[in-house]
Amino acid sequence: MDIDDKAESSRLPVTRGGAFRHFTGDALDVGLDHRLGLHWGKACVGLCNPPYIKPRWRRHFGEIMEEVGLSHVLPHAEDIPADILFIAQNLRFLKDGGRLGMIIPDGLISGERFMRFRQSLIESHSIDQVIELPRNIFRRTEAKAHIVILTKAATQVLHIPVRQLSSTGELSDAMTISPERGLLRLDYGYHSSVRPSRTSRVVRLSKLIASISRGTLSSRTRKNVGYPVFHTTDLTAGMTEVPSEFALSKEFQKVVAGVTARAGDVLVARVGRNLSDKICRVDRGVIVVSDCFLVLRPNVGEEDNLFKVLNSPRGRVAIDAIAHGVGARFITANALMKICF
């Protein structure tokens, strides 16, 4: 079924034979079971690639969510995106033990906001496999997505296999995570970045850091203060140190507002397109940073080591792995602290 009357799936009855029937219409229609001639709870398999939109809320959406136990996953029902509604509609059609294969956005897989959604799936069904897809796999979008396969109303498997599909079509070996870790995130890239190495001494980034903070001045506010504020646009390609002109004079150090960084601190871009390319250190003085930076203050004696691991190829890959979003991606301090090297 597809709402687009020009969808490629409409050709299936012709190209694949009479076993296929295609319907044009709204998959969230209140009377969809009658339209398809398929009773709720009778389907064996569902395949779904939902649209990544936020539809205008309709009253029967609440009934769809309530019937499959997903009405509680977000504080406000009106904030529920179409992908969750499509998942709920598919679950309504499936019989117990039926399988659902779906392509869902990265936010549902890794975002803190959707932790209760993941919890509901894990507690009520069995997530059998998650495959992380490469960015740009869909035309006209950089959105990262994942294939999720689950069994309705089954006991959750003890170890959830997560994999990654490369841009050249190669599928990685499975890495297994516990359901408890799956509640936090289900993406292969993240778990591979925080998984301890078997071949060398393991160091969790949090062990190198005394504190982590976020800048407080926005890119707009920084233009209205009388002292220099270091922003991500000031960090050009290949730059590893904050330019000396951003160091505060002693007079400004006495009156400055906002988070500051000092010599030895490492700055990591918190938001932007190329986060892993936006890493630098403070070589001297005191610097005010914008809210687009995270300021990492290393433990005494770990200044060089902290910058080295973050600026290494492995560090850059790990930062890319924990980044969310489309276009202007972002990372959280909590996810950064859990990276292992």
Specify the CATH number for the domain of residue 261: 3.90.220.20
Residue 25 lies in a domain: no
Three-state SS across 177-219?
Answer: ECHHHHHHCCCHHHHHHHCCCCCCCCCEHHHHEEEEEECCECC
Q: How far apart are CA 84 and CA 72, in angstroms?
A: 12
Average of pLDDT values for 184-206?
A: 75
Residue 84 lies in a domain: yes
pLDDT for the residue 182: 92
Phi, psi of 290 (to 5 degrees): -80, 175
- Structure tokens belonging to residue 174: 């499975």
Q: Give yes or no: residues 246 and 326 share one domain.
A: yes
Length of the chain: 341
pLDDT at 203 over 90: no
Q: How far apart are CA 140 and CA 101, in angstroms?
A: 23
Q: Give yes or no: residues 180 and 123 share one domain.
A: yes
Residue 20 lies in a domain: no
Predicted confidence (pLDDT) per residue in 299-326, tens digit = 999 999 999 989 887 788 788 878 876 6
For 283-339, the DSSP string reads -SSEEEBBTTEEEEEEPTT-HHHHHHHHTSHHHHHHHHHH-BSSSSEE--HHHHHT-
- Closest CA relative to residue 151, chosen from 44, 50, 229: 44
Residue 95 lies in a domain: yes
Domains: count for the chain:
2
- Identity at 303, one-letter amino acid code: E
Q: Give yes or no: residues 180 and 306 share one domain.
A: no
Residue 138 lies in a domain: yes
**CB-CB contact of 107 with 54 (8 Å):** no
pLDDT for the residue 198: 55
Instruction: Work out the number of other CB atoms within 10 angstroms of the CB of residue 69.
Output: 15
Predicted confidence (pLDDT) per residue in 263-303, tens digit = 999 999 998 878 888 999 999 999 999 999 999 999 999 99
194, 226, 243 — which closes off a domain?
194
Quick one: what percent of the chain has pLDDT higher than 70? 94
Q: Give yes or no: residues 80 and 117 share one domain.
A: yes
Q: Give yes or no: residues 70 and 185 share one domain.
A: yes
- Identity at 105, one-letter amino acid code: P
Residue 273 lies in a domain: yes
Q: Give yes or no: residues 166 and 219 share one domain.
A: no
**CB-CB contact of 100 with 129 (8 Å):** no
- Structure tokens belonging to residue 98: 């039926």
Q: Which residues of 170-180 are buried (b: 16+ CB within 10 A; e: fewer)?
A: eeeeeeebebe
Q: How far apart are CA 178 and CA 285, in angstroms?
A: 45
Q: Give yes or no: residues 261 and 166 share one domain.
A: no
Predicted confidence (pLDDT) per residue in 134-143, tens digit = 887 777 666 7
Task: List CB contacts of 206: < 8 A, sequence separation 6 or more.
Answer: 337, 338
DSSP tally for the chain: helices H, then strands E: 12, 14
Q: How far apart are CA 187 and CA 180, in angstroms?
A: 13
Task: List CB contacts of 23: < 8 A, sequence separation 6 or more.
Answer: 1, 2, 35, 36
Q: How far apart are CA 101 and CA 81, in angstroms?
A: 18
Q: Give yes or no: residues 80 and 171 share one domain.
A: yes
162 or 331, higher pLDDT = 162
pLDDT for the residue 42: 96
- Looking at every residue in the chain, the average pLDDT score rounds to 89
Q: Give yes or no: residues 179 and 113 share one domain.
A: yes
Residue 112 lies in a domain: yes
Q: Give yes or no: residues 140 and 52 share one domain.
A: yes
Instruction: Work out the number of other CB atoms within 10 angstroms of the CB of residue 13.
Output: 13
Q: How far apart are CA 141 and CA 213, in angstroms?
A: 32
Q: Give yes or no: residues 129 and 213 share one domain.
A: no
Q: Which residues pair with 280 in a beta bridge?
A: 267
194, 227, 259 — which closes off a domain?
194
pLDDT for the residue 259: 83
pLDDT at 200 over 60: no
Q: Give yes or no: residues 218 and 189 share one domain.
A: no
- Structure tokens belonging to residue 107: 């936010």
Average of pLDDT values for 326-341?
A: 80
Average of pLDDT values for 94-120?
A: 93
Residue 316 lies in a domain: yes
CATH number at residue 67: 3.40.50.150
- Closest CA relative to residue 296, chosen from 234, 193, 236, 210: 210
For residue 292, what are the CA distances in angstroms to 79, 127, 259, 272, 303? 26, 35, 12, 8, 22
145, 164, 194 — which closes off a domain?
194
| 115-121-127-132 Cα dihedral, nearest 10 degrees | -40
Range of the domain at 160: 39-194
